[in-house]
Amino acid sequence: MIDFGIEKIAPLCSEFGVEITDEIKNRLNLYGNMLLEWNEKMNLTAIKEPEEVLFKHFYDCILFFKNVDIPENATVADVGTGAGFPGMVLKIVRPDLEVTLIDSLNKRLVFLNEVISALGLKGIKTVHSRAEDAGKNPLYRENFQIVTARAVASMPVLLEYCLPLAKNGGMFVGMKGPSVEEELKACDNALKVLGGGKPQIFTETLTGDEKRAFVLCKKISQTPSKYPRKPSDISKRPL
């Protein structure tokens, strides 16, 4: 079994109040091993070196807690979760969270369900759905305190995918690259239409010159029922 050297990020995490316990360390190690094992059979990640997995996946997701104040027992939706980032890591670090991992590709969810079982996690589930369908589904629409997505789409598109899932007073958190400010210049109308407040941006360093931007957007009013639109309309005519 690969040792991902979780202890390397422990001091960094403790600086913003996240304690990497032995249980968290063991679960992250097992998750990382399953990720690389399954990645040989299906495309889960282009990041394959343990050191890169440690910083560009695990530490990247844990930085969420530095920039976002998540209430105890909060409901969290991870849209387009892929291999489980950031939702799976958020759950490992904060077992009190109620996490829903949403993805349109079922084979990724098969992997994630295996991880959930192997790690013995409770209060986390997978949903096989496109984001725009989940946003129309009464089970999920405006049902989450925190809605997040990591590098799924451009910001105007991402807002239409994610804001309909957030409760009034809840929060959308987009994990993007450092050039996100340019994307946000095209988002004023989307925010106004979908019920989003003025975004805040926090930029962090992962490793070397690698940067991560967290875009925080509070849900300040209800999203009109016509949104999200059909996928073709969202991509061809972004708000």
- Residues 158 and 135: beta-carbon distance below 8 Å: no
Helices 106-119 and 22-39 meet at what angle, rounded to 10?
150
- Model confidence at 179: pLDDT above 90: no
- Residues 68 and 99: beta-carbon distance below 8 Å: no
What separation in angstroms does the CA of 91 have from each of 56, 99, 171?
17, 7, 17
* Strand intervals (E) in 50-165: 75-79, 98-103, 124-128, 144-150
For the segment 178-191, the average pLDDT, to the nearest whole number, is 89
pLDDT in the model for residue 153: 82
Residue 150 sits at the vertex; the CA angle it makes with 96 and 66, to the nearest 5 degrees, is 50
Nearest one of 72, 60, 2, 53 to 30, comparing CA atoms: 2
- Model confidence at 151: pLDDT above 80: no
Cα–Cα dist 83/101, whole Å: 10
Cα–Cα dist 229/24, whole Å: 39
Tens-digit pLDDT profile for residues 114-130: 999 999 999 999 999 99
Reading the block at residue 45, the tokens are 């990640």
Residue ranges per structural domain of the chain: 70-236
Q: List the CATH code of the domain at 70-236.
A: 3.40.50.150
- Model confidence at 147: pLDDT above 90: yes
Tens-digit pLDDT profile for residues 57-82: 999 999 999 999 999 999 999 999 99
CB atoms within 10 A of CB 152: 19
Say what the pTM is: 0.95
